[in-house]
Chain A
Amino acid sequence: MSVRMIARRLGSKLLPRFAPAATLHSHATSFGFKEVNEEEKSQLVGNVFTKVASNYDIMNDLMSGGLHRLWKDRLVSKLTPFPGMKHLDVAGGTGDVAFRILETINSGRAMDDTLEDNLQEETQIYVCDINPNMLNVGKKRAQERGLGNLGSLVWVEGDAEKLTFNDDSMDGYTIAFGIRNVTHIEKVLAEAYRVLKRGGRFLCLELSHVDTPIFKQLYDYYSFSVIPVVGELVAGDRDSYQYLVESVRRFPRQEVFASMIADAGFQQVEYENLVGGVVAIHSGLKI
């Protein structure tokens, strides 16, 4: 076991020396496998999500075989929400993670009753997204789920790289399937660090890298041959889904991303691979 630990450490020591600066620069100027200007990237990504907003949830179900629900459940259970929590869900567009957090708090019995009732009124979940179309879809879904008129759910249009929230104001910060699409990852991480309180947690759910030999080939085949075709058939939009699968490949690897999170100041940085690395949940703690 100790040999593996040493090997991991050596291997990981080599990686950051070669990767971070190059990775960050390439992330800011990559749109899938295409090279674009930094200024353009935000625009291009915005166009993608404006187009996919209406079919976003159906496509998620189709592409992941319904697994994305389980992944989001896992994300929320790792967060362990509590009544009276102030939480920020960034790139939370259609609201999946926010709804789960709210439902967990409302159904949980974390404390004795009188205190809990008072605190449940204080619970605030902010859903922040740069794209108004995604927010609108989310608001509609909230209405359907009966969470529409709760004061606890607040929809905010904003940029993850420049949040409008105060320093040290949030107990939790989640970003699910969003960090892949930002232009400057390190700015997003810095902003996350800024808005979190002491003891606050950062959690990131994202499609990530698969290493196991045969499974990797299957996954690549599925990503490049099946997903864009399904996108064409269901949403009439092959290019957006081509962008999606390409952007997954361009995103930094689990260990590199973990070191970026640590660079932003977080402690206890860990990641958990789900489905052999198809999805990874990274977490960090602000002290």
Chain B
Amino acid sequence: MHHHHRSAAIAKKLLLRSSFFSSAKQIAPAPPLCCRFRFISSEPPFSHHQTPNHFNHPSPNTNTYTDSSSTPPPPQPPRARPTPTPTPTYEEEQARVLAASLHHVIRLGWSEAAMIAGARDVSVSPSIVGSIPRKEAALVEYFMDHCFQKLVDTIDSDDDSQFKDLVPSERIANLIKLRLQMQAPYISKWPQALSIQAQPSNISTSFKQRAMLVDEFCHASNDEATGVDWYLKRSIVGGIYSSTEIYMLTDNSTDFDDTWAFLNERVRDAFDLKKTFQEVKYFAEAVGAGFSSSFQGFTKKGC
């Protein structure tokens, strides 16, 4: 039960955070006269959400403005998973299209073409691709969320204590390996996905997704760091994850054996680094003290 609860909570967090689902975004509109020489300035779209008429129209003039994550209208019983809603919402349809598109990514890359093929697979008009904001980025983000969800489910349903019995360093290495293996089928097109995630309009979402991922790694390895150590640990794990991900792009060994060896090396280094961190701190303090005293001497002498 705890597992389901956590999955649902994380799923909800994903829904709220992932920009793919948050179509009620409001950005501060730019005043139209701010750029003298630009004739066309567009205000960001005003999103109006409306479930079909027969649900929530007691009178013809009432309009419900609902958030993508808000509760359904009162006359209906609470919307639980098992009861199918007669007409799906557009977010669900878009998610179905994206899920189907993943099958075509290997052949067509993270592109509109893959999404059009995916739409045809679920017998929805490919025009829906035009309604998905930041098209290719939405596909990549959907995949990242999908993998994250799978990771969480695996950790939560860890009945055979696959992870609990390991020491922290091995646990983190195994988790990272597990997550990267989900990307393995798409490795030929993964550089494209990385470049899409690095684009300015997409970088905030991809950063958030990676932050959540790293948080999950640390949390699953029972991290008890506090204060600065919390940030330190996460940035180190983030660094290990990113470098392994990039190493994997050029790895041609069978089953990515070289990548896992690389990963283990990095994790070992990091844990060794933790031990020597105190030493480095003292060393830095000593250097700093020495430097400041010599600087004082220099300024006293004058020029």
> Which residues of A come within 8 Å of B, CB atoms?
1, 4-5, 8-9, 12-13, 16-17, 20-21, 67, 70-71, 74, 78-80, 82, 85, 110-112, 171-172, 196-201, 212, 214-215, 254-255, 258-259, 262-263, 265-277, 283, 285, 287
A287 contact set on B, CB distance < 8 A = 87-90, 93
Known interface pairs A80-B130, A200-B127; A13-B90 also in contact (CB < 8 Å): no
* Complex interface: chain B residues within 8 A of A196 (CB): 125
A268 to B43, CA, bound (A): 17
When distances are taken between beta carbons in the complex, the residues of chain A under 8 Å from B127 are: 79-80, 82, 85, 171-172, 197, 199-201
What number of residue pairs across chains A and B have CB atoms under 8 A from each other? Answer: 151
Say yes or no for B288: interface residue by CB 8 A criterion: no
Pairwise interchain contact B53-A82, C-beta atoms closer than 8 A: no
Given contacts A82-B116, A212-B33, A287-B90, contact A201 B40 (CB under 8 A): no
What residues of chain B lie closer than 8 Å to A263, measured between beta carbons?
50, 53, 60, 63
* Closest residue on chain A to residue B104 by CB atoms: A111
Chain A residues in 8 Å Cβ range of B51: 267
Report if B157 contacts A (CB, 8 A). Answer: no
B112 at the interface (CB under 8 A from A): yes
Dominant secondary structure of chain B at its interface with chain A? loop
Q: Is the CB of A5 within 8 A of B125?
A: no
B112-A201 in contact (CB<8A): no
Flag if B131 contacts A285 (CB, 8 Å).
Answer: yes
- Indicate if the CB atoms of A276 and B41 lie closer than 8 Å: yes
- Of the A-B pairs whose beta carbons lie under 8 Å apart in the complex, a sample of 15, sorted by A's number, is A12-B63, A67-B40, A80-B112, A82-B127, A199-B124, A199-B127, A212-B31, A258-B46, A259-B63, A263-B50, A267-B52, A272-B44, A276-B32, A283-B45, A283-B131
- With a cutoff of 8 Å between Cβ atoms, the chain B residues found around residue A20 in the complex are 60-61
Contact with A along B25-61 (1 / 0, CB 8 A): 0101001110000011111111111111100000011
* Interface membership of chain B positions 56-71, coded 1 if the CB is closer than 8 angstroms to chain A and 0 otherwise: 0000111101000000
> Is B52 a contact partner of A265 (Cβ separation < 8 A)?
yes
Docked-complex contact A198 and B46, CB < 8 angstroms: no
The listed residue (B24, B108, B124) touching A5 by CB distance below 8 A is B24
The contact of B40 among A5, A16, A274, A285, by CB within 8 Å, is: A274
B contacts with A, residue count (CB < 8 A): 49
Name B32's closest neighbour in chain A (CB-CB): A276
C-alpha gap A114/B108 in the complex (Å): 14
Whether a CB of chain A sits under 8 angstroms from the CB of B8 is no
Which residues of chain A have C-beta atoms less than 8 A from B90's C-beta? 267-268, 285, 287
Q: Tell me if B24 and A111 are in contact (CB < 8 A).
A: no
B213 CB–A CB distance under 8 Å: no
Q: What's the Cα separation between A83 and B53 when bound, in Å?
A: 33
Shortest CB distance A73–B (Å): 10
List residues of chain B with CB under 8 Å of any chain A CB. 23-24, 26, 28, 31-33, 39-53, 60-63, 65, 87-90, 93, 97, 108, 112-113, 116-117, 119, 123-131, 135
Q: Hey, which chain B residues are within 8 Å of A80, CB to CB?
A: 112, 127, 129-130, 135
Q: Determine the chain B residues whose CB is within 8 A of the CB of A259 once the complex forms.
A: 48, 63
- Report how far A276 CA is from B32 CA in the complex, Å: 5
Residues in A neighbouring B41, C-beta threshold 8 A = 274-276
A67-B39 in contact (CB<8A) = yes
Q: Quick one: closest B residue to A268, CB to CB?
A: B90
C-alpha spacing A267/B131, complex, angstroms? 10
Q: Are A270 and B128 in contact (CB under 8 A)?
A: no
Leading 5 A-B pairs by shortest Cβ distance:
A276-B32, A199-B125, A199-B124, A270-B45, A80-B130
A106 to B28, CA, bound (A): 37
For the complex formed, measure the closest distance between the CB of B72 and the CB atoms of chain A, giving whole angstroms.
14
Residues of chain B within 8 A of A111, CB atoms compared: 108, 113, 116-117
Q: Which residues of B contact A172 (CB under 8 A)?
A: 127
Indicate if the CB atoms of A262 and B50 lie closer than 8 Å.
Answer: yes
> Closest approach, in angstroms, between the C-beta of B24 and any C-beta of chain A?
7
Chain A: CB-nearest residue to B31:
A212
Residues of B within 8 A of A16 (CB): 61-63
Interfacial chain B residues near A79, Cβ < 8 Å: 127, 130
Q: In the complex, which residues of chain A have a beta carbon less than 8 angstroms from the beta carbon of B46?
A: 8, 254-255, 258, 270-271
